[in-house]
Chain A
Amino acid sequence: MRYLPLTPDDRAEMLGVIGAPDIDALFADVPAAARKADLFDLPLHAGELEVERELTALSALNRAAGAGPFFCGAGAYKHHVPATVDHIIQRSEFLTSYTPYQPEIAQGTLQVLFEFQTQVAALTGMDVANASMYDGSTACAEAVMMAQRVNRREKAILSGGLHPHYAATTQTIAHAEGMEIVRLAAAIDAEAAVIDAIDDETACVVVQTPNVFGVVTDVSKIAEAAHAKGALLIVVTTEAVAFGLLKTPGEMGADIAVAEGQSIGNALNYGGPYVGLFAVREKLVRSMPGRLCGETVDAEGRRGYVLTLSTREQHIRREKATSNICTNSGLCALAFTIHMTLLGGTGLSQLARINHGKARELKAAVEAAGLEVLTPRFFNEIAVRTKGSAAALVDDLLADGIVAGVPYSRLDPHAGLDDVLLLCATETTTSEDIAALKAALTQKAA
């Protein structure tokens, strides 16, 4: 076995030092009834070539997003990631290190986290950010529960434009924790509808911009309405590249900004691992879940970084912790930070404008094919009204080699929006891709 260094001689010698007759003696505490003498019914060990062959064959059964015209977004986005990013995250010292509990020998990871927190705060326009969460959807659930800790109210109102999977995750987790979750009916351009639902028991309202239908909303008025009733405003963003162009949650009055950071530095990975961004106003920092990295000095007075405010965490507060989360998404946060450092503010702005331009091109093509675009103000995603079922149209176009987006009904089958198709264009979408889509849509319409 290539991963196991001990030889039979080593094992015999070590058993001698231990004073055990055989390996079974070390498992003596396992009840006899549960000790398995035989190997389990699974294949035996395999060489690297054999394993690689099996996995390559499985991979080949999937159609990569880059294999042809591709227009899926809705919470995960195909972007180009510079080769440097993957090179650096595979360095032993980043890939194979643990959570930086010994700061003297983990300054690499810690300084990266400090840079990450600063970048996320700047992108979202907030004061402070944590060292990342599992993903955007769990960050959303954590934000809702944080609001409950801050103002001791139990009710959360979710907009009808919030990604249905985010809503379901929040419903599951925050409700389990004892909160009442009110989810407004799915609505394409009605983030502000949450205003009418705010009352004196409302802990927070959750809105998304750009929302799941791609609609960009200035949420400032929602912030005012929430704050007037003592509720917090949580702003969700699933497409982090939008931070390069759009007004920030901070500018618009958000108390908590959460986002999916996958777009920057991370691959699609069929849904994970991703990286949740979580940023808040300064005064809320001690209620924030997750790990935090802070600046300090060492015994010689040199600047360094440590995990801090960790008394909020489960390994110290145990049943009084702010959350049960024990992990962040360290390596994905590293990828985010490196990509963001390569882009810089100017690069991200440019990338965002390219995305927006591609989406305008996409919109024009779809309209030229005779379909109605439902998204009035968009970043890089649009919702389109299909003639008949959107899911059937996607199946149809797949036969032409085009992955034409995500039928909204796949995310939310009970909303009665079976004829709504969500399409996305990024810098990876070519004019040829868009032309192919237009031709196919035109042909289906004919």
Chain B
Amino acid sequence: MTMQNIGRPTRPEGAAESTGFTSLTGGRGLLQDEPLIFELGGWTKTGVDLPAASGDAADLAGLTRAGVDLPGLSEPEAVRHYVRLSQKNHAIDLALYPLGSCTMKHNPRLNEKAARLPGFADLHPLAPVATAQGALQLMDRLAHWLKTLTGMPAVALTPKAGAHGELCGLLCIKAAHEAAGQGHRRTVLVPTSAHGTNPATAAFVGYSVQEIAQTEDGRVDLADLEAKLGPDVAAIMVTNPNTCGLFERDVIEIARLTHAAGAYFYCDGANFNAIVGRVRPGDLGVDAMHINLHKTFSTPHGGGGPGAGPVVLSEALAPFAPAPWVVSGPDGLDLVEEAAADAAQAFGRMSAFQGQMGMFVRAYAYMRSHGADGLRQVAEDAVLNANYIKARLSDVMTPAFPDGPCMHEALFDDAWLDGTGITTLDFAKAMIDEGFHPMTMYFPLVVHGAMLIEPTETESKRELDRFCEALRALAATAKLGDVERFKGAPHLAPMRRLDETLAARKPKLVWKRESGGA
């Protein structure tokens, strides 16, 4: 069997002792113990006042259902239910959220307001284009900013998230190879430190994946790359800055070797926020790169989406971009919706409509607010904050790559926990008790017990110091042997550690009457 050792315990070790004081009703101070909506009664209730329907549905005889077996709640009950639930979440609005590679930065509320303007929010995707000129202009302006900031000539706006953007980029590459009689190229080279989506996407489009080795200092091994670049290679997929938080120093040489071998350079732009306004991927030889608008341009993560993943493209790949796209016409802007309409090489369509318009508005508002100067400052502050954390923690934790600066995230390994009996996971869970969200753990896979900390430009020095003090205190405690603090953590969160093994062995994915007891 293939052995994968992602060393992460997945259920609590033994039953935890309770934290001592317990309430009589299961509440924890202002944190309410909130049942599922299916357990709150309301099977005949509705919180929406609707007029009577006109007539019956006799014309649909035999085609209708008996009724919808779902509960409803009045408005105040619904508000309470969801507000109570919300209070069990951590949020960037509450404290530093150091998830490396995820880029949890402040979400300006102006952007939310703008996205809700009726001309954007209440605009139908198939409204006549004459009635959607403002939306098309916004897409056009967003495209202009993305192209200028990346130094790339074209952008496909429609992909709905980063992984969707990767797929779009690889499909452009595949189409370009096929158009050039190079369809036999079936291999994609991916560094071992890559995001899991990279190999997943490459395999998805039918490419075989080959890993590129990494050097001791956390970069692509040029010799290994050169050895593997052959006539069967369609593309390389490299994240830059990479997932170790380091800039690929040899990126221009990587691009040169790749192009010399007849392959394309796909750059995973997940970490573009570290260089925005300072470095243009187009100057590095990149052929395609997706941009996670929810990372670099601060559209909210929303508990797991929606994202948006426009892909910037080089001259060579631009003709293959999917429909739809915006063009200038005699009566203003127009939308080309048919892949075969005026560029027969377009590879197809990524989704039903124009992409994540609501995210375009937010990202554009973010760009306009920062401007060329502010975006450059974003990159500088993000990098400064990460290096500050690295500097302040390197004497108590072990940085994975101690030499030289990092970019926007600081990566530590678990060597400093050797002999303590405490794992990366335990340490991370103990951070919760101190009021912080854990950092990204066990990623990238190339670093043992990895802890990847990304503060972003959002953090003040005061918050960074508060965070560093908390980690230093925890590290000192860990070395003093206070194992129970870590093994039992979190003690003070809304829940203790959850049993993922039980969840996966006996999956309970929906509420059912017999099990729910209502």
Contact = CB atoms under 8 A, between A and B. Distances in A.
| Direct A–B contact in the complex, CB atoms closer than 8 angstroms | yes
Contact of A117 (B75, B405, B509): B509
Given A62-B131, A269-B358, A294 B120 contact: no
A324 B206 CA distance: 12
Contacts of A41: 148, 372
Contacts of B500: 296, 306, 308
A105 B494 contact: yes
A230 B380 CA distance: 58
Nearest to B306: A273
Nearest to A209: B63
A104 B372 contact: no
B472 to A, nearest CB: 14
Interface stretch (B43-51, B228-236, B474-482): B43-51
B446 interface: no
Contacts of B470: none
B306 A295 contact: no
Contact of B134 (A58, A251, A268): A58
A329 B305 contact: yes
Interface in A85-115: 86-100, 102-109, 111-112, 114-115
A193 interface: no
B493 interface: yes
A437 interface: no
B351 A36 contact: no
A36 B278 contact: yes
B68 A122 contact: yes
Contacts of B133: 61-62
A53 B369 CA distance: 12
B437 A102 contact: yes
A43 B370 CA distance: 9
B391 A103 contact: no
A386 interface: no
Interface residues of A, number: 205
B85 interface: yes
B262 interface: no
Nearest to A43: B371
A266 B136 CA distance: 21
A117 B485 CA distance: 35
Contacts of B396: none
B88 interface: yes
B303 A99 contact: yes
A100 B6 CA distance: 19
Interface in A44-91: 44-46, 48, 50-52, 54-67, 70, 72, 74-76, 78, 82, 84, 86-91
Nearest to B209: A319
Contacts of A370: none
B216 interface: no
Nearest to A167: B349
A340 interface: yes
Interface in B158-175: 160-164, 166-167, 171, 174
B284 to A, nearest CB: 6
Most buried by A among B78, B275, B339: B78
B178 to A, nearest CB: 11
Contacts of A127: 510
A246 interface: yes
Contacts of A161: none
Contacts of A313: 196
A177 interface: yes
A304 B510 contact: no
Nearest to A350: B50
Contacts of A427: 50
A55 B278 contact: no
A371 interface: no
B191 interface: no
A348 B70 contact: yes
Contacts of B373: 1, 39, 44-45
A42 B372 contact: yes
B499 A104 contact: no
Contact of B124 (A29, A43, A72, A165): A72
A298 B28 CA distance: 15
B334 interface: no
B300 to A, nearest CB: 5
Interface stretch (A152-160, A184-192, A199-207, A355-363): A355-363
A108 B302 CA distance: 12
Nearest to B460: A5
Nearest to B81: A341
Interface string A170-183: 01110111100000
B411 interface: no
A209 to B, nearest CB: 9
B123 A296 contact: no
A272 B139 CA distance: 13
Contact of A309 (B126, B166, B371, B504): B504
B503 A247 contact: no
Nearest to A165: B352
B99 interface: yes
Interface string B490-505: 1001111111101110
B125 interface: yes
B514 interface: no
Contact of B72 (A51, A324, A342): A342
A108 B351 contact: no
Interface in B363-386: 364-365, 367-374, 376-378, 380-381, 383-385
B330 interface: no
A302 interface: yes
Given A273-B356, A292-B507, A318-B200, 6 more contacts: A29-B247, A97-B302, A105-B432, A111-B36, A177-B206, A341-B81
4 closest A-B pairs by CB: A344-B72, A271-B353, A331-B302, A59-B119
5 contacts: A62-B120, A76-B353, A103-B495, A129-B509, A321-B196
